């Protein structure tokens, strides 16, 4: 498997994410190269282990295949490998110069780039639940949802400007779209840049702000969203609409997740792409055969019960099940049960006894 990341961090394979995080915090605090007595090699090794085990997807791949994929958990130092780890706790560990407090997470992001502050802003995801009839889940349906959420302002189309208003050079960044800052750390003073929050990187701001969104370009309102639920969806499955979540100024909108709840049907159940039901027939119909009127989800059909059908036998009706594609459907499966008479008339008993004598 190569390196044993669990052994490096000193945790069991069943350790929780909180336990892994605490173990890494302890090792990073102990071996940080800028601390007296620190060990650069062990610090990088701990970082490598945490970059994999601290990420659920990478950890699952590591547990299964012994590696976390290309570029994951490599031996080279990469500030992005710290993921969402918060180094601010080191302030209580004696780090700092001249009383200046700092966050190593910010320092690494600013020095090497690509840190959390560099990631594009993204709105929050939304999850809602909808109820479907059994028929809707089988054949698919289009639903209209009304959500009260942050959306792009319809008055200014997200520009933040009042209609007809001119744009001017941003007063915060002087038209650069980015703001330069000086940060101090244990490694010295560093010049960093970030996207201007006033103009959101455009370098322009409106002379008059939109009266609806007050210049933010985002407005919370009720919005109707059409959702196409695909055929054959199962209870508890999700439909994802990319970009239909909460909008955010200067970034991309989150996603909308729709969890489906399917109501049970009185006689039908779904098994893969097949629809299954059960019917009861009389003993004589099972022996002699008959036609049975079967009500399906999309119309009535005449089901042929063959002569000599036995208890529990499954009859198949091809192409009347769950749509698997535009041109193909699963089948209907009918489980036959035979109603055995509890009492027999004298005449019926006599005829059955005659059949017994014939060896039937």
Return the residue matching tokens 């010295």: 188
- Structure tokens, 98: 């001249």
pLDDT of residue 115: 43
Q: Which CATH number fits domain 5-85: 1.10.8.60, 1.10.287.110, 1.10.260.40, 3.40.50.300?
A: 1.10.287.110
Q: Is the pLDDT of residue 75 over 50?
A: no
Max mean pLDDT range (5-14, 89-98, 109-118) = 5-14
Q: Which CATH architecture has domain 269-357?
A: Sandwich (2.60)
pLDDT, tens digit, 9 for 90 and up, residues 139-183? 999 999 999 999 999 888 888 888 888 889 988 898 888 888 777
Determine the average pLDDT of the residues in 111-135. 76
Q: How far apart, in whole angstroms, are the C-alpha atoms of residue 229 and residue 136?
A: 8
Say which residues have a Cβ less than 8 Å from residue 3's Cβ, sequence separation at least 6. 45, 48, 49, 73
CB 204 within 8 A of CB 154: no
Rounded Cα distance, 213 and 157, in Å: 10
Of the pLDDT bands very low, low, confident and very high (cuts 50, 70, 90), residue 125 is very high
pLDDT at 114 > cutoff 60: no
Alpha-carbon distance 33 to 80, whole Å? Answer: 18
Q: Could you tell me the pTM of the whole model?
A: 0.58
Domain boundaries, the chain: 5-85, 269-357
pLDDT at 347 over 80: yes
Cα distance between residue 175 and residue 147, in whole Å: 36
Do 5-85 and 269-357 show the same overall fold? Answer: no
Q: What local confidence, expressed as pLDDT, does residue 360 receive?
A: 65
Helix ranges (H only) for 32-161 are: 40-53, 56-65, 104-112, 134-139
What SS3 state is found at 40? Answer: helix
Distances (CA, A) of 19 to 84, 105, 146, 259: 15, 20, 41, 31
Higher confidence at residue 148 or residue 32? Answer: 148
Distance (Å, whole) CA 150 – CA 120:
18
**Of 280, 274, 330, nearest in space to 303 by CA:** 280
Which residues sit opposite 239 in a β-bridge?
258
Average pLDDT over the chain, rounded to whole?
A: 82
Q: Give 284-321 pLDDT, tens digit per residue.
A: 999 999 999 999 999 999 999 999 999 999 999 999 99
- The residues that bridge with 73 in the sheet, in sequence order, are none
pLDDT score of 99 more than 60: no
More confident residue, 87 or 263: 263
pLDDT tens by residue, 35-59:
777 788 888 888 888 888 988 888 8
Mean pLDDT of 71-97: 42
Q: How far apart are CA 184 and CA 188, in angstroms?
A: 6
Q: At what angle do helices 40-53 and 17-31 cross, to 10 degrees?
A: 170
Q: Give the contacts of 37 (CB within 8 A, at least 6 positions apart).
A: none
């Amino acid at each position: 498997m190569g390196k044993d990341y669990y052994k490096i961090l000193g945790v069991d394979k069943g350790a929780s994410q909180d336990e892994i995080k605490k173990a890494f915090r302890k090792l990073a605090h102990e071996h940080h190269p800028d601390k007296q007595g620190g060990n650069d090699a062990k610090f990088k090794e701990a970082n490598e282990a945490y970059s994999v085990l601290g990420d659920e997807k990478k950890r699952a791949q590591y547990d299964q295949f012994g590696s976390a994929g290309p570029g994951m958990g490599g031996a080279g130092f990469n500030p992005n490998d710290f993921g969402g780890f918060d180094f601010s706790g080191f302030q209580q560990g004696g780090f700092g110069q001249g009383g200046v407090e700092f966050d190593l997470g910010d320092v690494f992001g600013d020095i090497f780039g690509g840190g959390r502050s560099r990631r594009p802003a993204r709105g929050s995801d939304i999850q809602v639940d909808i109820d479907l009839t059994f028929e809707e889940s089988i054949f698919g349906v289009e639903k209209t949802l009304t959500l009260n959420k942050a959306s792009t302002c319809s008055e200014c189309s997200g520009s933040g400007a009042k209609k007809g208003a001119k744009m001017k050079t941003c007063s915060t960044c002087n038209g650069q779209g980015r703001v330069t800052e000086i940060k101090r750390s244990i490694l010295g003073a560093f010049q960093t840049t970030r996207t201007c929050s006033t103009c959101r990187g455009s370098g322009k701001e409106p002379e008059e702000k939109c009266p609806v969104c007050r210049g933010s370009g985002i407005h919370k309102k009720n919005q109707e969203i059409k959702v196409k639920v695909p055929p054959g969806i199962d209870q508890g499955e999700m439909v994802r609409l990319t970009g239909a979540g909460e909008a955010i100024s200067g970034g991309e909108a989150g996603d909308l997740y729709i969890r489906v709840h399917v109501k049970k049907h009185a006689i039908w159940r779904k098994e893969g792409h097949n629809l299954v039901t059960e019917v009861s027939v009389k003993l004589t119909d099972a022996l002699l055969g008959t036609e049975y009127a079967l009500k399906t989800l999309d119309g009535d059909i005449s089901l042929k019960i063959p002569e000599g059908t036995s208890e529990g036998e499954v009859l198949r009706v091809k192409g009347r099940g769950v749509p698997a594609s535009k041109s193909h459907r699963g089948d209907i499966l009918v489980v036959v049960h035979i109603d055995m008479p509890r009492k027999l008339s004298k005449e019926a008993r006599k005829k059955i006894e005659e059949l017994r004598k014939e060896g039937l």
